[in-house]
Amino acid sequence: MSRFAFGTYRISDYNPQHIDALKEAIKSGIRMIDTSTNYLDGSAERAIALALREFDTDIRESVEIVSKFGYIQGETLLKHHEKAFDEVVEYSQNCYHSIAKSFLKEQLTQSLERLELTTLDCYLIHNPEYYLLNAINKKIDKDTRLDEMYRRLYEAFIGLEEEVKNGRILSYGISSNSFSKQMDHEEFLPYEDLLDLAQKASQVVGNKIHHFTTIELPINMLETEGLKCVAWAKENGLRVLANRPLNAQKEQLMYRLADYDESSEYYHHLNELLDVCDNELLRPLYNLIEQLDDNKHKFGWIGDYEAFLFAQIIPHMKKTLEQVDEANRDTMLHFIELFLTEYKKMVAYECSKHTRTMLKEEFKECFVTMQECAIKFLLAHEQIDYILVGMRKPSYVHQILSLEN
């Protein structure tokens, strides 16, 4: 059985390639799929259901589905504005959070419907430390905020134990970025008392044993502090899921631990788009494309570009295209799509060169691709049960699985 799990952070039921990748992963022996209620506003869970329809009962039952709750975004945020959920942390304008028992039950109902299941294998509290982050911002002292954090977790554990008793989940746990912080970091989520809370919750509900089985946390070549939490987990019989194997943080900077090839089509599509935009009406778009070309090497990592794309580039392009008639607008959109596809490849290529330079010490013994070295680093840690990897194309599935051989 593979130690890789299929991560569905950006998987959509509207993308046939994503569905094909899920099916290929299952056919190839991957037996865990990790998702969350907020991944593309529920679209990831719907995609899993579509993929599983293709398999017989034995195969479907052999695939473990892990989902998570906590985030209030998208449609869920709109519902909150209509009728407020309990114990909500308003972290930012577009991101609220709750681990209240009433909220988890409502979210679980929706997840089961989207996944077309009656029972979920494992349900994780998703980054409960949002309460801690908010409390830190409000200058609440450490002891007070930790006491309240534990109270909220205890109430959530009671709700989760109730769902086990009701047969809607088989087990539960916590996915937390704070498990990977240093113990003296103010955002660190202490984990050593969690099993005591789970045991007390199970006794309150009337379950003979607790059903806290799983932790999930970031671990990669640059972020190894979480291995202390891994050791604690294994000492206590818990299962460990490692996420963000290739998206790593060092000294407040993010890096994508992967090599990318330079686009062979980029300059063709760049010049093609510039030619089309070389007129007075489309001069703002022409200038934008030139600026993008000049700055393709200046993004720290691919995530910076993706954030900039949606916040700045697309709104600017849309404003310019409003001046174009419908027939020509469709033509322009075609050229823009081709350009942006290749531009992203060039940004990824430039970022990978930058990463190789900035992390030359970490990769000085790496004589294959950075992603191979990063994945094999995790495979060498046998205490990690599953490594969560995003595999949005069938070809990615085979590339990842080949690293286990």
Same domain, residue pair 372 and 250: yes
Same domain, residue pair 279 and 243: no
* 363: in domain: no
Q: H/E element holding 174?
A: strand 169-175
Same domain, residue pair 184 and 296: no
What is the number of H-type helices and E-type strands within the chain? 16, 13
End-to-end Cα separation, the chain, in angstroms = 12
Same domain, residue pair 174 and 288: no
* 45: in domain: yes
Same domain, residue pair 195 and 323: no
**Section 250-268 average pLDDT:** 95
Same domain, residue pair 17 and 125: yes
Q: What is the bridge-based pairing of β-strands 120-126 and 169-175? A: parallel
* 170: in domain: yes
C-alpha 215/C-alpha 402 separation (Å) is: 26
pLDDT of residue 378: 97
C-alpha 42/C-alpha 74 separation (Å) is: 9
Would you say residue 327 has pLDDT above 90?
no
Q: Which tokens hold the place of 27?
A: 């056919």
Please give the single-letter amino acid code of residue 107.
Answer: Q
- Which CATH number does the domain housing residue 73 bear? 3.20.20.100
Contact 183, 191 (CB under 8 A): no
Same domain, residue pair 21 and 169: yes
Number of domains in the chain: 2
Same domain, residue pair 225 and 335: no
CA distances (Å), origin 15, targets 48, 371, 386: 12, 25, 26
Same domain, residue pair 247 and 275: no
Contact 152, 145 (CB under 8 A): no
* 79: in domain: yes
Contact 25, 6 (CB under 8 A): yes
Interval 7-56: pLDDT, tens: 999 999 999 999 999 999 999 999 999 999 999 999 999 999 999 999 99
The 3-state DSSP class for residue 212 equals strand
Q: Which residues contact 70 (CB under 8 A, 6 or more apart)?
A: 38, 97, 98, 99, 125, 126, 127, 128, 130
* 149: in domain: yes
Task: Give residue 160's domain range.
Answer: 4-257+368-404
The 3-state DSSP class for residue 69 equals strand
**Section 150-163 average pLDDT:** 98
Interval 278-321: pLDDT, tens: 999 999 999 999 999 999 999 989 999 999 999 999 999 999 89
pLDDT of residue 252: 87
What is the percent of the chain with per-residue pLDDT over 90, rounded to a whole number? Answer: 93
Same domain, residue pair 166 and 310: no
**Section 96-109 average pLDDT:** 97
Which strands make up the sheet holding 71-72, listed edge to edge?
A: 71-72, 95-97, 89-92
More confident position, 405 or 64: 64
Q: Which range, of 69-73, 170-174, 320-324, 388-392, averages the lowest pLDDT?
A: 320-324
Q: Which residues contact 333 (CB under 8 A, 6 or more apart)?
A: 321
Is the dihedral angle over the CA atoms 41, 62, 247, 96 positive or is it negative? positive
Contact 35, 44 (CB under 8 A): yes
Same domain, residue pair 342 and 226: no
Same domain, residue pair 148 and 271: no
* 197: in domain: yes
DSSP codes joined into one string, 137-169? HTT--HHHHHHHHHHHHHHHHHHHHHHHHTTSE
Please give the single-letter amino acid code of residue 128.
Answer: P
